[in-house]
């Protein structure tokens, strides 16, 4: 079905579905086969093999992902980190340099500070909201700029329009991790980014039951990443493809509901006297609220906040809540709560973490699909206890 003229929520359901439906199956069947009978000819690209990411489950997902974000092509991977590391390795070789935002997911930060230098690739960190400083850091061997739509866990939004303009002017690729926004709230390729990356473990799948990743972009760029992935081997297995495919069909309703609930929770926390600070782009006090209002279709389901007091106070609050599950990860149907300094960013040395603004009493919340009033009542009791 041609879905270009349709809204993202319709594309999520109909794009990439097999035509005709396989034996009439309305849900995409799982092709649990690692290899496929040769069709003749000696072209390597005609071979179908699960690690080569070209089974019917991969093909359907690639088309759906590309259509949803308005890209020509997409590739799914074994995890979000497989998507990030493979995409970076596809475009960076020994002697190259790249720019990366200074507040990124901990795993990405680790890849940039540990693995990239081991491969002879150098990076400089940049403040996503200080375009003048980017000019000072660019070098003749700079190949790309890497940012996140909404940073983890401080929920900041870099100057997305200036990043696209900067990358084009300097002839470097622009890569963005769009995990926190999801394609429902922001579609980077439509705004000029070259590659959009997702940890599909989060919103795209939405049920906290698989680990997966994806990169979306134009045909040539995705082909380069696919060749790299085929050699590195970070393929997504057919059953996980099936679950991701199923999860994506409900992304629209999930994210719209999570946008609403997160806004209500953020407003409640902002008013509460024991809360020091709330980071949520839907609040007018957020430093990039105007940018979010202009560029996003929703403010997302992620927020973070600091309770007045020390780390013990933050821990006590988490323990007193009944609805959220204290667990890392995000984007699922259940509300998850964590202290980033003890989970996602525990690998970043404390001094660096504090410099990034991640204090030990910072709490991160991934709002799920529970009733907003129930979450607020639960938080109110835990804060007033
Ligand atoms: N990008 C962001 C923003 C994340 O939060 C995470 C994981 O939490 C990742 C990438 C890595 O994804 P995965 O755990 O699927 O490898």
**Residue of 83, 202, 208, 240 to test ligand 1 pocket, by largest number of atoms within 8 Å of CB:** 202
Which residue has the least CA distance to atom 5 on ligand 1? 105
CATH of the domain at 103: 3.40.640.10
Are both 164 and 76 inside the same structural domain?
yes
Residue 213 has a pLDDT of: 98
Residue of 284, 287, 356 whose CA lies nearest to 106: 356
Are both 29 and 145 inside the same structural domain?
yes
- Which pTM value belongs to this model? 0.96
One of 143, 202, 339, 364 is an active-site residue; which one? 202
15 within a domain of the structure (yes/no): yes
Are both 379 and 234 inside the same structural domain?
no
3 within a domain of the structure (yes/no): no
1 within a domain of the structure (yes/no): no
Residue 355 has a pLDDT of: 80
50 within a domain of the structure (yes/no): yes
Residue 47 has a pLDDT of: 85
105 tagged catalytic: yes
- CB 105 less than 6 A from any atom of ligand 1: yes
Are both 164 and 188 inside the same structural domain?
yes
Pairing of strands 142-148, 173-177: parallel
Which residue, 188, 215, 248, sits at the end of a domain? Answer: 248
Are both 226 and 296 inside the same structural domain?
no
Residue 344 has a pLDDT of: 74
3-class DSSP assignment, residue 109: helix
139 within a domain of the structure (yes/no): yes
Residue 39 has a pLDDT of: 81
- 302 strand-pairing partners: 366
Are both 239 and 281 inside the same structural domain?
no
Which stretches of the chain score pLDDT less than 70? none
203 tagged catalytic: no
Residue 252 has a pLDDT of: 98
Which residue, 248, 274, 293, sits at the end of a domain? Answer: 248
Which residue, 220, 248, 276, sits at the end of a domain? Answer: 248
Are both 170 and 276 inside the same structural domain?
no
C-alpha–C-alpha distance, residues 17 and 1, integer Å:
8
3-class DSSP assignment, residue 277: strand
CATH of the domain at 364: 3.90.1150.10
89 within a domain of the structure (yes/no): yes
Residue 336 has a pLDDT of: 98
Which residue has the least CA distance to atom 12 on ligand 1? 80
Are both 225 and 285 inside the same structural domain?
no
Which residue has the least CA distance to atom 13 on ligand 1? 80
Residue 10 has a pLDDT of: 96
224 within a domain of the structure (yes/no): yes
The domain tally of the chain equals 2
Are both 325 and 189 inside the same structural domain?
no
Neighbouring residues of 294: CB distance < 8 A, sequence distance ≥ 6: none
Are both 42 and 159 inside the same structural domain?
yes
- Domain range for 370 is 252-384
Are both 356 and 264 inside the same structural domain?
yes
C-alpha–C-alpha distance, residues 11 and 36, integer Å:
29
- Angle ∠(60,62,68) on CA atoms, nearest 5: 100
C-alpha–C-alpha distance, residues 204 and 378, integer Å:
27
Residue 27 has a pLDDT of: 97
Q: How far is CA 1 from CA 15, 21, 56, 380, in A?
A: 7, 11, 17, 48
353 tagged catalytic: no
CB 112 within 8 A of CB 100: yes
286 within a domain of the structure (yes/no): yes
Residue 54 has a pLDDT of: 95
Are both 238 and 152 inside the same structural domain?
yes
């Amino acid at each position: 079905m041609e879905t270009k003229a349709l809204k993202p929520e319709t594309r999520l359901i109909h794009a990439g579905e097999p035509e005709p439906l396989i034996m009439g199956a309305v849900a995409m069947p799982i092709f649990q086969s690692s290899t496929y009978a040769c069709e003749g000819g000696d072209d390597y690209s005609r071979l179908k093999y699960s690690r080569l990411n070209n089974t019917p489950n991969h093909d359907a997902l690639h088309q759906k992902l590309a259509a949803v974000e308005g890209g020509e092509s997409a590739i799914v991977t074994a995890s979000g980190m497989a998507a990030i590391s493979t995409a970076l390795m596809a475009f960076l070789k020994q002697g190259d340099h790249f720019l990366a935002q200074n507040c990124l997911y901990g795993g990405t930060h680790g890849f940039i500070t540990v693995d990239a230098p081991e491969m002879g690739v150098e990076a400089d960190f940049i403040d996503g909201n200080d375009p003048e400083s980017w000019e000072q850091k660019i070098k003749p061997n700079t190949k790309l700029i890497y940012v996140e739509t909404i940073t983890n866990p401080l929920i900041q939004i870099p100057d997305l329009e200036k990043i696209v303009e900067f990358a084009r002017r300097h002839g470097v690729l622009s890569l963005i991790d769009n995990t926190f926004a999801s394609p429902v709230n922001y579609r980077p390729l439509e705004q000029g980014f070259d590659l959009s990356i997702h940890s599909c473990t989060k919103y795209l799948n939405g049920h906290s039951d698989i680990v997966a990743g994806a990169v979306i972009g134009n045909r040539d760029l995705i082909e380069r990443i696919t060749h790299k992935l085929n050699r590195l081997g970070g393929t997504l297995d057919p059953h996980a493809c099936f679950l991701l495919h199923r999860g994506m069909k409900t992304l629209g309703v999930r994210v719209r509901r999570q946008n609403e609930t997160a806004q209500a929770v953020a407003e409640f926390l902002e008013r509460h006297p024991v809360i020091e600070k709330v980071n949520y782009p839907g609040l007018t006090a957020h430093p990039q609220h105007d940018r979010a209002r202009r560029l996003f279709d929703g403010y997302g389901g992620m927020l973070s906040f600091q309770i007045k007091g020390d780390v013990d106070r933050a821990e006590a609050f988490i323990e007193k809540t009944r609805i959220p599950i204290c667990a890392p990860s995000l984007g699922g149907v259940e509300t998850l709560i964590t202290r980033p300094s003890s989970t996602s960013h525990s690998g970043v040395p404390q001094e660096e973490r504090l410099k990034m603004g991640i204090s030990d009493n910072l709490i991160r919340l991934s709002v799920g699909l529970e009733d907003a009033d129930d979450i607020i009542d639960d938080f109110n009791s835990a804060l007033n206890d």
